[in-house]
Amino acid sequence: MSQHPALAPGRCALVTGAASGLGLAAARAFAGLGMNVWLADLPGEALEAARAEVAAVAAVEVRAVPTDVGDRAAVDALRDAVLAHGGPPAVLMLNAGIEAGGRLFSDLDLWHRILDTNLWGVVNGIGTFVPGMIEAGRPGAVIVTGSKQGITTPPGNTPYNVSKAGVKVVTEALAHDLAGRAGCPVTAHLFIPGFVYTGLTRARGAAEKPEGAWTPEETVAFLLERLGRGDFYILCPDNETTRAQDERRIAWAAGDIIENRPALSRWHPDFAEAFRRHMEG
């Protein structure tokens, strides 16, 4: 399997939301490739436990920095700490995210909490780290964790959907900007996981991994494979949803605009039969 040139032994990978789930699995994978790893997450025992777990993977440098990614000053301080230990990261994985059970009419505090972490955490990370990665002139990769819900935007959980839709737009803009810079060796990638058994899944009541879910390790392995291929949209399947099903769902969502159907027509009773036929191909 070919690898992205940024994934080189001795270089640095920084992962936000690294104390559990996909972030921790990615940090372990980067350490396994011989990269030095920085873990950023909220302060607490989980972050220190993650540092110890990643440090046990290989003889690499592993540092954990408590960071609220929604706070630009905190992200600036994280950057300064990384730069003081050898320059900008080769891999910047902006993965921190929360769901928090928000709804359209949730109070503003909950809206801000979700958007500050999920969207502003990405904006802050890009604005703080990427200029230095560009100036370094070495191969680099910016990986941003999005969501299928940011593309198909199902009813409910509206603040989360909004945050992940914004993440998609920001990452697309970054990729376009980087591609337009002559000779720039830094690339951007939108990581779109499928159904993954993480802390969010457990919080919904799944004490054991559902059969339909992938593990974080399986999902990160898929990420690294597609990163090596140079994909921008890294759309992950899982044990219950195929790539073809995802493509049809995404195409239907775009078709709402083209065909002037009601908003979110996939869930509208008048379009249930048409959507069923569409999914059957």
Active site residues per annotation: 160
Give the 3-state secondary structure of residue 13.
Answer: strand
Strand partners, 175: none
Burial classification of residue 58, based on how many CB atoms lie within 10 Å of its CB (0-12 exposed, 13-18 middle, 19 or more buried): middle
Q: CA-to-CA distance for 135 and 206, rounded, in angstroms?
A: 45
* Residue 111 tokens, joined: 């809206």
Residue pair 172/165 in contact by the 8 Å Cβ criterion:
no
Other beta carbons less than 10 A from residue 32's beta carbon = 13
Kindly give the residue spans of alpha helices, DSSP state H, lying in the chain.
21-32, 45-55, 72-83, 108-118, 120-136, 149-152, 158-179, 199-203, 216-229, 243-258, 272-279
Residue pair 94/117 in contact by the 8 Å Cβ criterion:
no
Residue pair 23/125 in contact by the 8 Å Cβ criterion:
no
Residue pair 173/215 in contact by the 8 Å Cβ criterion:
no
